Structure 1
């Protein structure tokens, strides 16, 4: 196999199914050696009986590629450190981290209990931070040793994190946090040769079956716009050396569409030069809102 990732070593978390599986296969098809991480848990994070990561590794090897399994919990320090160690032990280098692992525990806010909040924040947000932390430590050491890497990190956010999603307060908060983490990491790690970007994908996976029930079925003929494989080309490019100079950006990807997302920027503003009274502040706020672009609709809002 050869392609834009020839010689690179890539770790993909949550790569046993859905988007992660599609990413792992696409990286391998472009010449990368892949560390396939997956715990094999259910949609809600409960332990599963199978190891889908092994099946993905077998699929990559059958196609002539190279891959190894990592079944550690990347939302723990030991599991995240082991992910980096596995790449280095198997292939002697580590170039790209794609963080994708996650699950859902959807509830309306008044029914959302603390355990469901903590579990979703843990797998998505902590599960992005810890692999980033350990990968960055490795790349910083490489840079300080005079071996500046062409390292890449691709995070997985969501439209729920950018706009909100009814019934997914925990998931939306986690995915919004991933965007903030991406921006900080891009700024802090640039000096070590590391680029950090995020994608907000829309595709047919276990996690989106209920949210996109009307659009899930693959068409009998023609282009399947909801196939997870549609998202992977952008992820592979962001994870390759070919994406040099692109960092701190968020992209939406769905079907054949790629969108550069433009986040919070200053809009209409007013400065009195001294303190407002509450009535003045309210009056001016309404004037500014009238001149501002309205927010996007929250997913699921009536």
Structure 2
């Protein structure tokens, strides 16, 4: 499906990122394996897991290079894009997957825990996308017909909220907004931007949802396997998906759902300035006519 394409996958050493990288290789893509090898909370660093993924890709007959950029560093994100172009001659797709969690109830959340999670998820998506978009825009302005693909990773936490994960939920909500906004801006250059909200067994989810994430022991379909998510990612990054952009897809096991974002609901226009005493009855009427919001995870 992606024969000859060059793809960057961030956070590709483990979990979802590793599954994506291997599936891209199976589908004929050359893969830039990006990971700095941090622990679940973002500390430390070990490049060996990324090199093992690259070796797995080569064992499949594919081509891969490892790049250890901190994706939330503007200059390193630029170097990551340059690595793909310099190594393989081009870049066709970017899969933003890197991230970690520092879960805490909001009233106990530190400033550093807020900054670290928002930085790696939201800025880490924005930085790589910014430099990839600049590369593709340059190609488009030079007269090339660009068919570029971006797949971002949001979360049900970002779409619905998640108790104990306010920093993560806010960052993931930002990624959903980043997706629809850049899709609108970059379409003129031949770039599509979509996002997935995956449910899978990874380091970030195993501790939070231990029971739900357990592996089946009877040979049944493993609904929480990260490999279930990768076919959708590969398709969204393929030439076939050129007419799909600005969309968010929830994917759980074998189920793919289109997630609809904020939209205008019931309204009431006074055709003049409202008086404070009129607001209560009007709001009660609007809420009675509006659908109930989806519940926050964990509420």
Range into which the TM-score falls when normalised by the shorter chain: over 0.9
SS in 2 for 1:122: helix
Residue-by-residue CA offset, 1:122-181 (whole Å, 9 max, x unaligned): 000000000000000000000000012100000000000000000101000000000111
Q: Does the 8 Å contact 1:38/1:51 carry over to 2?
A: no
Does structure 1 residue 39 correspond to structure 2 residue 36? Answer: yes
Query: 1:53-202 to 2 correspondence within 5 Å?
Result: 53-202=50-199
Q: Does the 8 Å contact 2:265/2:290 carry over to 1?
A: yes
Does structure 1 residue 300 correspond to structure 2 residue 298? Answer: yes
Work out which of the residue numbers 200, 225, 228 in structure 1 matches 2:226. 228
SS in 2 for 1:56: helix
Report what 1:285 is aligned to.
283
Work out which of the residue numbers 272, 275, 278 in structure 1 matches 2:270. 272
Report what 1:243 is aligned to.
241
Structure 1 distance, partners of 2:2, 2:9, is 14
Q: Tell me how large the CA RMSD over aligned residues is.
A: 0.8
Residue-by-residue CA offset, 1:177-214 (whole Å, 9 max, x unaligned): 00111111001100100000000000000000122111
Hey, which bits of structure 1, 4+ residues long, moved more than 3 A? none
Name the stretch that deviates more: 69-78 or 247-256: 69-78
Deviation at 1:77, TM superposition (A): 1.4
Structure 2 stretches lacking a partner, 5+ long: none
Q: Does the 8 Å contact 2:13/2:49 carry over to 1?
A: yes
Structure 2 distance, partners of 1:171, 1:78, is 24
Deviation at 1:51, TM superposition (A): 2.4
When normalised by structure 2's length, the TM-score is: 0.98
Structure 2 distance, partners of 1:295, 1:185, is 26
Structure 1 distance, partners of 2:152, 2:89, is 23
Deviation at 1:72, TM superposition (A): 1.2
SS in 2 for 1:195: strand
Residue-by-residue CA offset, 1:3-22 (whole Å, 9 max, x unaligned): x1001000000000000000
SS in 1 for 2:211: helix
Report what 1:7 is aligned to.
4
SS in 2 for 1:69: strand
Deviation at 1:50, TM superposition (A): 4.8
Structure 2 distance, partners of 1:238, 1:34, is 16
Name the stretch that deviates more: 135-144 or 268-277: 268-277
Q: Does the 8 Å contact 1:163/1:297 carry over to 2?
A: yes
Q: Does the 8 Å contact 1:39/1:51 carry over to 2?
A: no
Work out which of the residue numbers 258, 261, 266 in structure 1 matches 2:259. 261
Structure 2 distance, partners of 1:268, 1:248, is 24
